[in-house]
Amino acid sequence: MSDALVTAILALGLAVIVVRRRSVAIALLSAQSLLLGAGALQLAGERGSDYLVASIVLAVKAIAIPILLFAVLRQTREQRLVAPASGPLVRLAGAGALALLCVALVPPLGLGDPQTERTAVALVFVGAAIVVARRPALLQLVGLIVAENGLALLAVSVPGGLPYVIELGALLDLVLVVTVAAAFTRRIHGELGTGDTELLRGLRD
């Protein structure tokens, strides 16, 4: 995968932690999944089945999941934007620092492509940072999928690819988790009148 593509995939992940609107975050996620899918198709081996699996993953992650997320968005309209816990620059600085830390700490993994290796690990932790730093439930779900995209970036770069069972099984698991999380998001919105998870802080010891 070209360095520019890998950098663009990371930049889209970092952008999710900055943007204000949930719709923009979903669009960014969709673009990230699309670039990742395009890269995977480029890397797919000569077997037709490699293309088929890469196409299924691309269709689900870049089209089906964003459609589901947009549907949830429509059903959970906010009266006004959920106030962020910290400013966008602080969030970006935090996620950027985390990404740099990953770059510094990740040992050579054996792909022979240090940029992809480091970016993939950094993206997983940027996804985790989105989950921690963003308050709306839907944005936390987007963070989870950004982390999964980081993992997928490394997975598609494995010579010969991951076994189909793992690749398609992980996709099925992702769809299950996103479907359940979407149901939760609707229910949380129905219960609280907002998707602000900051209000879900009743359980403390």
Partner 1 sequence: MTELVPTLAWLVPALPAATAALVLAMPSARAADRLNIGAAVLTAALALALAATALARGDQPPLHGRWYLIDGASGVFEAVIAVVGLCSALVSPAQLRAGGHGWFSARRSRRLYYAALYAFWATLLTIPLAGNLGVVWLLVEATTGASALLVAFSGRRAALEAGWKYLVLTSLGLTVALLGIVVLAIAQPPGGLHALDWHALAAAAPRLAHEPALFAFLLILAGLAAKIGWAPVHNWLPDAHSEAPAPVSALLSAALLPAIVLVAWRVKTALAPAVEHAGAVFVGFGLASLIVAVPFLWRPLPWKRLLAYSSLEHMGVLALGIGFGTPLALAGVALHVAGHGLAKALGFYAAQPLLRLDPDAAERAPSGVAERSAPTATAMGVSLGSLAGLPPSPLFLSELLILLGGVEAGQGAVVAVAIVALALGFLGLLHAFMEGVLGEPAGHARRRAHRGERRLVALTATLGSGLLALTAAGAFLPGYAFVAALARGVL
Contacting positions for partner 1 (CB under 8 A): 106-111, 120-121, 124, 127-128, 131, 137, 140-141, 144, 147-148, 150-151, 154-155, 158-160, 162-163, 165-166, 169-170, 172-173, 176-177, 179-181, 183-184, 187-188, 191-192, 197, 200-203, 205
Choice between 37 and 195, CB closer to partner 1: 195
Choice between 87 and 158, CB closer to partner 1: 158
- Residues with Cβ < 8 Å from 85, sequence gap 6 or more? 133, 135, 198
Cβ 138 to partner 1 shortest distance, Å: 12
CB 53 within 8 A of CB 100: no
Structure tokens at 70: 């947009």
Query: Distance of CA 169 to CAs 106, 173, 176, Å?
Result: 27, 6, 11
Cβ 56 to partner 1 shortest distance, Å: 16
Look up residue 85 and give its DSSP letter. Answer: S
Cβ 180 to partner 1 shortest distance, Å: 4
Cβ 196 to partner 1 shortest distance, Å: 12
Cβ 38 to partner 1 shortest distance, Å: 20
CB burial of residue 205 (10 Å; 0-12, 13-18, 19+): exposed
Choice between 89 and 205, CB closer to partner 1: 205
Cβ 185 to partner 1 shortest distance, Å: 9
Structure tokens at 180: 């359940």
Q: Alpha-carbon distance 201 to 58, whole Å?
A: 36
> ∠120-32-38 over CA atoms, to 5°?
90
SS3 of residue 136 by DSSP: strand
Strand partners, 98: none
Look up residue 196 and give its DSSP letter. Answer: B
Longest CA span, the chain: 57
Q: Alpha-carbon distance 181 to 192, whole Å?
A: 16
